Structure 1
Amino acid sequence: MRPILLASALLLPLGACVSLTENHYGPQPAEQAAMGDFGEATLRNAAGEAIGRAALTQGPTGLLIRIEASGLTPGWHGVHIHATGRCDAPFTSAGGHINHAAPAAPHGLLNPDGPDDGDLPNIHADADGRVNAEVFTSRARIAATGPGQWLWDADGSALVIHAGSDDHRSQPIGGAGGRVACGVMAAG
């Protein structure tokens, strides 16, 4: 019984050090929320219906993006960060991938000369068309400083989900097909 009391006494002060701010993605540390290191996007299909969301969290070495969506075709889907924060169907208004290398890097996580800044791993929709995934990139950021391309520039950025999987090699988008969902990313 004595070790349990000692452990409880040691943990009590630690629990008092963290305050939480509630948002619709769950609690976040208030100190980080004040720094603006969180973002979000409502994902919409071509009919303009909200089909999911993406939550962006800045870390010290890159950006974590949590994607929750439904209504997709079962299987793998390419997902990319696009250079313009507009999502007018068929989502070509989102422009191309963020890609500020000079000269521009070619597409593909598996391309020996790539990847471009907007490349992300594929996501998988289950048999019911639902996605619950996390992807990470060190080539994009929402913090004022740090690694990666700044997403909160004058024309914003968008997260785009494609109809098929990205082969991570072929140009210009890895054969991922049409754009089936899009969300304008904004500070949370």
Structure 2
Amino acid sequence: MIPDVTYPLDGGLRAASPRVLVGLALSLGLALTACGGEESPGADQDAAGQDAADQDPADASTDDGEQSGEHETSAEPFASADLADAVGNEVGEVTFSEVDAGVLVEVQVQDLESGFRGFHIHEHGACEPQSTNDDGDIGDFLSAGGHLPGEGEEDHGLVEGEEAPETDDAEGAEEAEAPDGDPQDAEDVQAGADHPGHAGDLPNLLVAQDGTARMSVVTDRLDPELLLEGDGTAVIIHAGADNHANIPERYAPQGPDEETRGAGDAGERSACGVVEGS
């Protein structure tokens, strides 16, 4: 407490007693100490901000000690395919990367007609316009062959709880569809009946009105050896949508026909790219 000081009526300052002077000195000392000991909240904030600015972003880490910039899907692609149309115009790229769940397939395209497009991996690493397939047919990119079979699937795309279509005699039906009753042709029909269970079967690609599309999908049906071994493989984008052999029974009481079971009625091949190792 600061002691009282009295002023006489004649305007002169009356001399203070020694006790008053000592009390005044102690009060001033305590006031100065209090002022010097307090730190401005703004100073703390400025110091914290400076520390954050000086920190290297690469050193930032999460509570579990892992760096926040790390991503589980940051693996470098082990293969890629440059897509081109039948006249050689580049229309996009597909990359393949290994991830925990299988292979990450990423596609980016441009300059295509809008709509859903069949998107598959085919069994031969060849993209020749006006080429011939094994049956002697001529067309764009037919040299790429059919869908990459892999180990195949026997469920024909059925989900849990869904019943498989009933057939009276599957073997007889296949032989009836084969031209001239050739047993070898019947075997080809059976081998092509796995759609959409081929290793190369993938979801449809949706092309926007501006002609571009992007898609990422992880599949456990592919691996580096399957894509790159032998004469390699190719990526095909079709002119139409793939129905994945999903034909309602009211339209086809006997089930999907040979063409549907083989390729999903996706139409002509609009773009192709050979899969090459990185």
Cα contact 1:107–1:116 (8 A) shared by 2:
no
**TM-score if structure 1 supplies the norm length?**
0.74
Determine whether 1:72 maps to 2:154.
no
| 1:171 match: secondary structure | helix
Whether the aligned pair in 2 keeps the contact of 1:106 and 1:171 (CA below 8 Å) is no
- Residue 135 (structure 1) shift: 2.3
Letter of the 1:54 counterpart: V
* Percent pairwise identity: 32
| Partner secondary structure for residue 263 of structure 2 | coil
Is contact 2:149-2:200 (8 Å) kept? yes
Cα deviation, residue 167, structure 1: 0.8
Q: Does the 8 A contact of 2:122 with 2:147 survive in 1?
A: yes
Residue matched to 2:273: 183
Partner of residue 91 from structure 1, selected from 134, 138, 141: 141
Structure index of larger Rg: 2
**8 Å Cα contact 1:107-1:171 kept in structure 2:** no
Post-superposition offset of 1:44? 0.5
CA deviation after TM superposition for structure 1 residue 123, in Å: 0.7
1:168 pairs with 2:248: no
> 1 or 2, which has the higher helix percentage?
2
Q: Is the 8 A contact 1:78 1:161 kept in 2?
A: yes
Q: Provide closer, same or farther for how the CA distance between residues 126 and 178 of structure 1 changes in structure 2, counting only shifts above 3 A.
A: same
Q: Is the 8 A contact 1:120 1:136 kept in 2?
A: no
**More strand by percentage:** 1
Q: How far has the Cα of 1:66 moved from its partner?
A: 1.2
Aligned position for 1:137: 219
How big is the shift at 1:79?
0.4
For the 8 Å contact 2:125–2:231, the answer to whether it is kept is yes
**Contact between 2:150 and 2:200, CA under 8 Å: does it hold in 1?**
no
Q: CA 1:117–1:160 in structure 2 vs 1: closer, same or farther (change >3 Å)?
A: same
**How far has the Cα of 1:110 moved from its partner?**
5.3
| Equivalent in 92, 100, 105 of residue 150 of structure 2 | 100
| In structure 2, distance between residues paired with 1:164 and 1:106 | 25
CA contact (8 A) 2:84 2:90 kept: yes
Of residues 216, 219, 228, the one that matches 1:152 is 228
What is aligned with 2:205? 123
Q: 1:122 to 1:108 in 2, by over 3 A?
A: farther
- The alignment covers a number of residue pairs equal to 164
The 3 A distance-change label for structure 1 pair 39 and 74 is same
SS at match of 1:154: coil
Conserved in 2, the CA contact under 8 Å of 1:73 and 1:129? yes
- Unmatched runs of 5 consecutive residues or more in structure 1: 19-27, 145-149
With normalisation by structure 2, the TM-score equals 0.52
Q: Deviations over 1:3-26 (max 9, x none)?
A: 985xx68626965x97xxxxxxxx
1-structure distance, mates of 2:210, 2:158: 29
1:23 matched residue in structure 2: none
Shift of 1:105: 4.6
List 4+ stretches of structure 1 deviating above 4 A: 1-5, 12-15, 104-114
Question: What is the CA-CA distance between 1:165 and the residue it aligns to?
Answer: 0.6
- Cα deviations by residue, 1:130-166 (Å, 9 ceiling, x for unpaired): 1111122110112x6xxxxx11111001110000111
Aligned partner of 1:38 in structure 2 is 78
* CA deviation after TM superposition for structure 1 residue 174, in Å: 1.0
